[in-house]
Chains A and B, each alone.
Chain A
Amino acid sequence: SAVISQKPSRDICQRGTSLTIQCQVDSQVTMMFWYRQQPGQSLTLIATANQGSEATYESGFVIDKFPISRPNLTFSTLTVSNMSPEDSSIYLCSVVARGNYGYTFGSGTRLTVV
């Protein structure tokens, strides 16, 4: 399966600032997704990162708050903009590799907004 490197692993940020999270995969993947896991809760899909075009956002998530880039088949970034304490969560990158319907998750970025 694909190996995902997600950075940073954790960060503590001031409210009103922005943080960009990187997801690097060791092979070309068909699909890349960004999930959020709020404290004590399950995972919620934020968006599908589309290569070379705008991401597809789920209900409740907007591009201005969570801009996403995917310049190629192995790399994507998620930015959490104008952060507030409510954005404190674990953010996870997930991929589906070519010809494989298995899903692999990155180790996550634990974000705390103070």
Chain B
Amino acid sequence: AQSVSQHNHHVILSEAASLELGCNYSYGGTVNLFWYVQYPGQHLQLLLKYFSGDPLVKGIKGFEAEFIKSKFSFNLRKPSVQWSDTAEYFCAVNENYGQNFVFGPGTRLSVLP
């Protein structure tokens, strides 16, 4: 069965620091990859997604992610974080356009002003 791991449970950064959140999945076939964000008290929002093509995907709010097939990874990056980026970040994987997808355990990001 597909599994998704996220490298860090909790990341604490100062404003303007660079961010990289790791995500690895286990499935070896065709996958679609997603990063979702959940701001405190709010619902899930899609940051970005990868289906095919350029493995470097640009998302909203300055986020980007790179799909590295050989490493089964889809790491999220942002060159300079802001206090407003404080949130929970979830990586999710959908295999072969299947009916649902598997979420990672989430990484809590705290940005200190």
Within 8 A of A (CB), among B66-106: 90, 92, 94, 97, 99-101, 103-106
A108 neighbours in B (Cβ, 8 Å): 43-44
Q: Determine the distance from Cα of A102 to Cα of B51 in the docked complex, in whole angstroms.
A: 10
B46 contacts the other chain (CB 8 A): yes
Count of CB-CB pairs between chains A and B under 8 Å: 41
A48 close to B (CB within 8 Å): yes
Residue tally, chain A, CB below 8 Å to B? 17
The 8 Å CB contact of B105, one of A41, A48, A103, A106, is A41
Check B49–A102 contact: CB distance below 8 A: yes
- Report the minimal beta-carbon distance from B32 to chain A, rounded to whole angstroms: 6
Question: How far, in whole Å, are A42 and B23 apart by their CA atoms in the complex?
Answer: 14
B100 x A102 contact (CB < 8 A): no
Q: Other than the known A31-B100, A33-B100, what 12 A-B pairs have Cβ atoms closer than 8 Å?
A: A31-B99, A41-B105, A42-B90, A42-B105, A42-B106, A43-B103, A101-B51, A103-B94, A104-B46, A106-B43, A107-B42, A108-B44
